Structures are given as structure tokens and as C-alpha cells.
Structure 1
Amino acid sequence: MRPARNNDLTDRRSAAADAKAALLTAYRAAKTAAEPVQAARQAERISLVETREARRAERERLKIEERTRLETLATQKQAAIEAAAAAEIEARQSAENARILRVLEDAAARKAERDRRYAARKARQT
């Protein structure tokens, strides 16, 4: 007689179940053995993330300080430009006033000279 296939099928099923159970047991054992290593890796990742965040925060702080410094410099430069422009306008105005004053003084001197000549001529005629 031929051997019954059911026995072979049953043997294969039990062998497969035993193999799955062995794999599951081996996986659980490896997972348990790797827990300290995994925890160390997780702690290392956390410290790397914290370090990265600290560096990013420092870069942001430096950017803000640099932006503030540049804005302050720009404000000072603008104030200096405005002060120089005001000084130039004042210098031009004072030069214009001095020129007008000289023109008026020259006109007064010419008029005084003309009046003196007129008075001298009248004095000679009399």
C-alpha cells in the first residue's frame, strides 16, 4: 500500500508551524537582545536632534543680530547723509546771504559815491 498523503501533509504543516514558531522565538530573542543597542541609538539620535536644533537656534540668533546691526548702520548712515545735506543747504544759504549782502553793500557804496560826486559838483557850482 501507498503511504497516505494526509500524513505527509500533516507532517509538513507541523514542520512549517514549528519553523514559524522558531522564527518568532528567534525574532523575540533578537529584539530583546537588541533593546539596549536600540535604546542607545535612539538616545544618540535624540542628542543629534537637540544639537542640530541648538545650532539652528544659534544661526537664527546670529542672523537676527546681524540684521539688527545692519539696520542700525543703515539708520546711522541715513542720519549722517541727512545731516550732511542739511549742513550743505545751510552752507549754500549762508553763502547766498553773504553774496546778497556784498551786492547790497556794493550798491550802497556806489550810491554813496554817486551822492558824494553829486554833492561835490553842486558845491563847485555854487
Structure 2
Amino acid sequence: MTYNSTYQDRAGQSAQAKQKALEQFRSRPPVDEKLAAERKAAGQRREEAKAEKAATKKAEAEAKAADDAAKAAASAPPTEAEAKAARDARYAARKNRK
């Protein structure tokens, strides 16, 4: 294609390209129904496996969150009396070292 081509030249080339693409499309072999069904079934199996994996991952995350919440509840901050007793024990130990 040259830079000085006219509109008619470009339109003709476009029509030829469209005709060639249409001929290539029509010359394709027909779709094999058995192969298409196999591909569709394989796609469905992949989707099911993906959904199952996501559900398993979500269940594991929920279980971990519940476990973390239980640990957090079990390791609640010490009460004032417990904190005072621990502080007194550290003080006594430091005093005995001197």
C-alpha cells in the first residue's frame, strides 16, 4: 500500500481482505460434537474442582479464625491481682540477687 492511494484503492483492499477472511472462516472443518462435549465436560470439572478448593480454603480460614479467637480468649490479660503478684515476684527475685 502506498501513501498516495486513493479512498477507492483502500476500500477495495479492505473488501478483498474481508472476502479472504470470510473464505478462511468458511473453509474451517466442521465442529466435532464429541470433542466439543468432552471439552465442555472438562471445563465443568475444572470449575467444580476450583469451587471445591475455594470452599475448603474458606473452611480452613474460618477454623483458623475460630482457633485464634479461642487462643485469644484463653490468654486474656492477667487480672490486677495476678499482675501485682508477678511484679512482686520479680521484685523479690531482684532483691535476692543483690
Q: What TM-score range do you get, normalising by the shorter chain?
A: 0.5 to 0.7
1:55-94 to 2 correspondences below 5 Å: 55-71=60-76, 74-76=77-79, 78-82=80-84, 84=85
TM-score by length of 1: 0.42
Change (3 A) 1:61 1:23: farther
TM-score by length of 2: 0.52
Which structure's CA Rg is the greater one?
Answer: 1
Mapped partners of 1:25, 1:53: distance in 2: 43
Deviations 1:36-80 (CA, angstroms, capped at 9, x unpaired): 000000000000000000010011001101110110xx335x433
Q: Give the aligned partner of residue 53 of structure 1.
A: 58
Change (3 A) 1:46 1:55: same
Structure 2: 5+ residue stretches without partners:
1-14, 86-98
Cα RMSD (Å): 3.7
Change (3 A) 1:80 1:39: same
- Give the % identical residues: 9
